Structure 1
Amino acid sequence: MIARLRLQPADVGMGLTGQRVRDRLIDDLRKGGITDERVLNAIRTVPRHQFVDEALASRAYENNALPIGHGQTISQPYVVAKMTEALLAASPKKVLEVGTGSGYQAAVLAALGLEVFTVERIGDLLRTARKRFRSLGLHVRSKHDDGRIGWPEEAPFDAIIVTAAGSALVDALVAQLAPGGVLVAPVGAAGGQSLLCLRKDADGGVAQEDLGAVVFVPLLSGLTDR
């Protein structure tokens, strides 16, 4: 069941941001192997064109990553769907996202009725994302901080999603994952990244699965206000 969003006429869109184009994207995701109808409905419903610059709105429902400034991107819809589908396998309630970016991935998670916590190191991006959350009536808790630290005060999390690639899984994030939880993160250098899904068992042991090749911006430390 998708959470009720506070949609304005501009969110519903028309032409290249309208329902027909969104439905075409959903067909592409299905052909790519996305089968969870909850995920497909969330991506159909959340207005991706409101999470990119107005000049790129006509491309919002292409199955491509798009720039959002500051050297960052809004992820390809297929990758958002794949990561979200992997998280839902753990039936999570409380989710941590590392790398808010445009806010789109967090909005998809919140639209699925999850309790979402998100951390972003770039102040400008976080401020804009917060405005988008408020506009859509989504309750997302956010923090301007180094995502590699996670959000230890709110741990443990049933699921953790990392939207930038580190050279390895971050130990601090694995430690904040609840027993039975799932962490999904891209790992590797540019040109050689893999999307990894880590599952923590009830005893704290972990098992890892490679979900395929991906391309993400690097996971960086430190904060910037702009």
Structure 2
Amino acid sequence: MTVQRPIPDFAAAREAMVESQLRPEGVTDPAVLDAMRRIPRENFLPSHSRPLAYADRAVAIAQGRFLAAPAVVGQLLTQMMPERGQRALVVGAGTGYSAAVLKAMGLAVAAIESDAALAAIAREQGIEIVEGPLEAGLASGGPYDHILIDGAVEYVPDAIIAQLADGGRLGTAIAERGITRLTVGRKAGGAFGTLSIGDAGVPALPGFQRPRAFTF
């Protein structure tokens, strides 16, 4: 006898995500809340992981790659303040969830991903995505009003900062000395400054390890 598990009520789970995860964590931008309420997060996960789509945690999408927790995406986008009609780049887009949220907010979204299998899933979800090294960004589509690096990094390469428009914002998680902090940076007059907005458990994104000093 085969026992079938009930299909989760994903629509109810999305609403619960907004009310019990996003709002309590300071996600206040109505456009961010509306987009995350509408985008079916489960479509961006492997079939066996879909019941975890709205859990308050990162979920694996491939070996060493994860879909960030909903509150992480919501907090970064709230602080980045994206607006309809602006242009955004998602670095390390994975299966395309964060890019889809930005697209639902009315932005023109480009994405770059190093994993061909993940990029293929993103394309199936309607995301414009290029395959290539993440640390190089995607200069051909810049400059961008917003750049989201979708994972934790030890540093932000100058090549990616150069792709921000003047006044543009960049959101990511910076890992330093065992602590990972959500961080939003802004480019102004050629300078780039950052502000930490809180600690968070965000898995590392490959390719962004700080170069180690040579030692004997």
CA contact (8 A) 1:181 1:199 kept: yes
One-letter amino acid of the structure 1 residue matched with residue 103 of structure 2? A
| Alignment CA distance shift 1:190-1:91 (3 Å) | farther
One-letter amino acid of the structure 1 residue matched with residue 175 of structure 2? G
What is residue 99 of structure 2 aligned with on the other side?
Answer: 106
- How far the C-alpha of 1:120 sits from its partner, in A, is 0.4
Cα distance per residue 1:116-143 (max 9 Å; x no partner):
010001111111111122xxxxxx3210
What is residue 204 of structure 1 aligned with on the other side?
Answer: 190
What is residue 8 of structure 1 aligned with on the other side?
Answer: none
Distance 1:212 1:161 in 2: 16
Distance 2:85 2:172 in 1: 16
Where 1:163 maps in the other structure, the secondary structure is strand
**Would you say 1:180 and 2:171 are equivalent positions?**
no
Gaps of 5+ in 1: 1-13, 134-139, 222-226
> TM (normalized to structure 2)?
0.86
Query: Displaced runs of 4+ in structure 1, greater than 3 A?
Result: 89-92
What is residue 18 of structure 1 aligned with on the other side?
Answer: 10
- How far the C-alpha of 1:190 sits from its partner, in A, is 7.8
- How far the C-alpha of 1:207 sits from its partner, in A, is 2.4
Pick the aligned partner of 2:135 from 145, 148, 158.
148
Cα distance per residue 1:141-188 (max 9 Å; x no partner):
210001111111221111111012222121111111100100112122
What is residue 9 of structure 1 aligned with on the other side?
Answer: none
Distance 2:40 2:206 in 1: 26
Distance 2:38 2:84 in 1: 21
The residue correspondences of 1:162-173 to structure 2 (distance < 5 A) are 162-173=149-160
Stretch of structure 1 that moved more, 27-36 or 40-49: 27-36
Aligned length: 201
Where 2:26 maps in the other structure, the secondary structure is coil
Identity of aligned residues (%): 30
| Cα RMSD (Å) | 1.9
Gaps of 5+ in 2: 1-5, 209-216
The structure number with the bigger radius of gyration is 2
CA contact (8 A) 2:76 2:183 kept: no
Distance 1:84 1:219 in 2: 22
Where 1:83 maps in the other structure, the secondary structure is helix
What is residue 3 of structure 2 aligned with on the other side?
Answer: none
Distance 1:193 1:89 in 2: 23
Where 1:153 maps in the other structure, the secondary structure is helix
Stretch of structure 1 that moved more, 59-68 or 107-116: 59-68
